[in-house]
Amino acid sequence: MAKLDVLFAKWLEGKPITEDELAALRNNSEYRDMLQAATQWQQHAKTYQVQTPPPQLTQQSNTDTWSLSTVAAWLVVGLGVAGLWLQNLGLHEQMTAQQRQLAKQQEVIQKVLSQFDEVKPIEQEALSRLVTQVVEQNRKERSLAMNNLVDLIQAQRAQDQALLRLQLNELAEQVEQTPTQNLAQYRGKP
């Protein structure tokens, strides 16, 4: 989301972005809506022409129009700012949670490392042997599992070959039982 925020801000400022980045914005439902709204406002801004109202309307509704347009503009700005604030608040909470989790993990790693440094050389050797045994046991188990898998594949291959032989034998019997007159027709002879 943070990357999309940066891309959208870049696009709004008129800075060039790639087609892939623009497609990423369009593929996100939230940014697609914001892109459409911003594009419409940009089109309105490009085609805006100052028109002078008739004199009778200018005197009556100038203050009403000005205050209504001002309120509408502030409302749009306020909603945009509120939306960005809420979005940033959610991102901030996520980042804070990740930072707390990372700090906990670092504490655990530091504790393990400090405990390992405190272990006596004799205990380190015993621990090293234990780790070596675990690794060797895991290798043996993987080797056994691989051998079982190879055996299973070979058994399936043998079953497939036996089934193929049966099918070929049945086909050969069907060919032997077919009258020779039909065989001649199959070979293209009348």
> Does pLDDT of 141 surpass 60?
yes
Residues in the chain: 190
Q: Does residue 123 form part of some domain?
A: no
Q: Does residue 128 form part of some domain?
A: no
Q: Alpha-carbon distance 96 to 171, whole Å?
A: 72
Please give the average per-residue pLDDT across 147-163, as a whole number: 86
Q: Alpha-carbon distance 28 to 51, whole Å?
A: 38
Work out the angle between the directed axes of helices 2-12 and 19-27 (0-180°, nearest 10). 120
Q: Does residue 127 form part of some domain?
A: no
Q: Does residue 6 form part of some domain?
A: yes
Provide the number of structural domains found in the chain: 2
Percent of all residues in the chain with a pLDDT value above 70, rounded to a whole number: 71
Q: Domain range holding 168?
A: 142-184
Summary mean pLDDT of the chain: 76
Percent of all residues in the chain with a pLDDT value above 90, rounded to a whole number: 1
Residue 126 pLDDT: 78
Residue 145 pLDDT: 82
User: Do 24 and 5 contact (CB within 8 A), yes or no?
Assistant: no
Q: Does residue 107 form part of some domain?
A: no
Q: Does residue 113 form part of some domain?
A: no
Q: Does residue 83 form part of some domain?
A: no
Q: Does residue 11 form part of some domain?
A: yes
Alpha helices, H only, 28-120: 29-46, 55-118
Residue 11 pLDDT: 83
For residues 99 and 159, which has the higher predicted lDDT (pLDDT)? 159
